[in-house]
Structure 1
Amino acid sequence: MPLITHDIGLCAAQLRDGHLVAMPTETVYGLAADARQESAVRQVFALKGRPSSNPLIVHLHAGEQASQWAAEITPQAQRLMAAFWPGPLTLVLPARDDVLRCVTAGQNSVALRVPAHPMAQALLRAFGGGLVAPSANRYMSISPTSAEHVAKQFADSELTILDGGPCQVGLESSIVSLLPGDSPRLLRRGMLGRMRLQEVLGEALEERAGDVRAPGQHQRHYAPTTPAQGFVQAPAGALDSQAHGWIWCGSAHLSQGPAINLGADPEQYAAGFYAALYQLDALGLQRIYIQVPPHQEAWAAVHDRLVRACHSLT
């Protein structure tokens, strides 16, 4: 069974020895491995059941380390790093030749991030290098925002989990591609919004992936085992069934089934969304109904995860 610990030294030693460690970040918990050890990186894909065509993000403790991974750091990238690192922003940059291509899924680009979580920072400093750390869950299932979520996902393993408490952001990082000869692209929506990124970048971000593969682009992702359905108006009769769970966005209605109201603030909602899915998914319900938030820029990342988590939207 997994070991949940606060011992940063133990976790750093295990990573140096080629083992996996689940670590907290401000976004979600990541399944970390030494990004320079190919055997360790391949363990990440195997444990998650993640296809090798899906690239990994390398986590660093400081922006100064980026030059050890990226062949070129443009003025655009420098502006974004200065404004948003440490924080929930991943940059896709041209990769150095010595970066393992199992990390980049065979691409000549590498995704880099400096997380803001204090325990992630402490672990990265103690380890001293870069760590790949995709979400610490089985592929396409709900991303974990607590150590307990990770332990549930990998209950049959001996994974070491560094407990940093609940994640404060709660949704995966925004991913921006800045590759030579290509337009800047927003590859994945996060709580760091497009408008803020464009203000610092000084130009528009395209929202087409182009030829760049990045995490979180699968049509179905972040999904509970229980069928989930988004709604604007609650389906007739559904509120009367104890077999239906509900996630509300501020304007909750009485229901016979279990309900969680995440409120009408997008940051508060995002921080609690995956935890609410875990809570309801554990109850053996027939269906989880999720009230669709407002269609506003501040909710864009929540909408992205909601579409990928749900069987349908009504």
Structure 2
Amino acid sequence: MPHISIDVADCATRLRAGQLVAMPTETVYGLAADARQDAAVQQVFALKGRPSSNPLIVHLQSAAQVSEWAAQVPAAAQRLMDAFWPGPLTLVLPARDEVSRAVTAGQNSVALRVPAHPTAQALLAAFGGGLVAPSANRYMSISPTSAEHVAQQFAASDLWILDGGPCQVGLESSIVSLLPDDSPRLLRRGMLDQARLEAVIGAALEGKAGSLRAPGQHHRHYAPSTPTLAFVQTPAEALASPRCGWLWCGGAQPSQGPALDLGDEPQAYAAQLYAALYQLDALGLERLYIQLPPQSEAWAAVHDRLARASQRLD
């Protein structure tokens, strides 16, 4: 069974020995391994059930380490690092030749992030290098935002989990690609909205390029095991069923089944979303209904996750 720990030094020792440790970040908990040890990196793919064609993000203690991983750091990348690191932003840059292509999924680019969570910072400082740390969950299931979620995901393993409390941001980082001979691209939406990123870069961000692979892009992802439907117009007939659960966005209506209302403020909603999905998914319901938030840039990252976690009802 998993071991939940608060011993940062012990977890760093385990990572140096090629073992896996689940670590907290401000976004979600990550399944960490030494990014310089291919055998450890392969354990991450195996434990998650994640395809090796899906690249991993390398987590660093500070921007000063970027040159150890990136062959080039364009001016736009430096501006983003100065503005948003440590924080929920991942940058895709040209990879140095010595960066393992097991980490980059065979691509000549590497994804880098400096997390803001104090426990993540303490672990990275004690470890002294880069850690891959994709979300600490089974592939395509709900991302974990607490140590208990990780333990639930890997209940049959002896994984060590470094407990840093609940995640404050709650959704995965924004991913921006800044590669030579290509336009700046927003590969994954996070709670740093596109307008703020573009203001710092001084240029528009285009969408994902067809050949460039990035984490979190599968059409089904972040999903409960309970069949889940997202709606704008409430399916009133389902309100009478005790076997239907509800996740509301400030518009809760009386229901016979269990319900949670996360409110209509985007940051607070995002911070609670995955925990709410874990709570409702554990109840053995027949169906889960999610009220869709407003269509606005502030909710863009939430809409992205809900589109991958559910089917649209209307």
Assess same fold via TM > 0.5.
yes
- Give the C-alpha shift of residue 209 in structure 1: 2.8
Secondary structure of the residue aligned to 1:123 is helix
Instruction: Give runs of aligned pairs for residues 166-185 of structure 1, distance below 5 A.
Output: 166-185=166-185
Is 1:242–2:234 an aligned residue pair? no
Secondary structure of the residue aligned to 1:237 is helix
- Give the C-alpha shift of residue 192 in structure 1: 0.5
- Give the C-alpha shift of residue 207 in structure 1: 1.3
- Residue aligning to 1:268: 268
- Residue type of the partner of 1:197? L
TM norm structure 1: 0.99
**CA RMSD across the alignment:** 0.6
In structure 2, the CA distance between the partners of 1:108 and 1:195, relative to structure 1 (3 Å rule), is: same
- Residue aligning to 1:141: 141
Give the share of equivalent positions with the same residue, in percent.
75
Structure 2, unpaired ranges of 5+: none
TM norm structure 2: 0.99
Q: Indicate if the aligned counterparts of 1:89 and 1:173 stay in contact, CA closer than 8 A.
A: yes
- Give the C-alpha shift of residue 174 in structure 1: 0.2
> C-alpha distance in 2, partners of 1:259/1:33?
37
> C-alpha distance in 2, partners of 1:233/1:24?
36
- Residue aligning to 2:192: 192
> C-alpha distance in 2, partners of 1:200/1:104?
26
Is 1:56–2:19 an aligned residue pair? no
- Residue aligning to 1:283: 283
Is 1:309–2:309 an aligned residue pair? yes
- Residue aligning to 1:292: 292
- Give the C-alpha shift of residue 233 in structure 1: 1.6
Secondary structure of the residue aligned to 2:112 is strand
Runs of 4+ deviating beyond 3 Å: none
Which shows bigger deviation, 92-101 or 209-218?
A: 209-218
- Residue type of the partner of 1:140? M
Secondary structure of the residue aligned to 1:186 is strand
- Residue type of the partner of 2:203? E
Which shows bigger deviation, 180-189 or 226-235?
A: 226-235
- Give the C-alpha shift of residue 176 in structure 1: 0.2
- Residue aligning to 1:163: 163
Deviation digits for residues 76-133 of structure 1 (CA, Å, limit 9, x no counterpart): 1000000000000000000000000000000000000000000000000000000000
- Residue aligning to 1:152: 152
Deviation digits for residues 35-61 of structure 1 (CA, Å, limit 9, x no counterpart): 000000000000000000000000000
- Give the C-alpha shift of residue 313 in structure 1: 3.6
- Residue aligning to 2:214: 214
Question: How many residues are aligned here?
Answer: 314
Q: Indicate if the aligned counterparts of 1:186 and 1:209 stay in contact, CA closer than 8 A.
A: no
- Give the C-alpha shift of residue 236 in structure 1: 2.9
- Give the C-alpha shift of residue 208 in structure 1: 2.6
Secondary structure of the residue aligned to 2:36 is coil
> C-alpha distance in 2, partners of 1:178/1:5?
37
- Give the C-alpha shift of residue 311 in structure 1: 2.7
Deviation digits for residues 118-151 of structure 1 (CA, Å, limit 9, x no counterpart): 0000000000000000000000000000000000
Is 1:41–2:41 an aligned residue pair? yes
Is 1:120–2:120 an aligned residue pair? yes
- Residue aligning to 1:91: 91
- Residue aligning to 1:230: 230
- Residue aligning to 1:71: 71
- Residue type of the partner of 1:283? L
> C-alpha distance in 2, partners of 1:62/1:47?
28
Secondary structure of the residue aligned to 1:33 is strand
- Give the C-alpha shift of residue 212 in structure 1: 1.1
- Give the C-alpha shift of residue 303 in structure 1: 0.1
Q: Indicate if the aligned counterparts of 1:307 and 1:313 stay in contact, CA closer than 8 A.
A: no
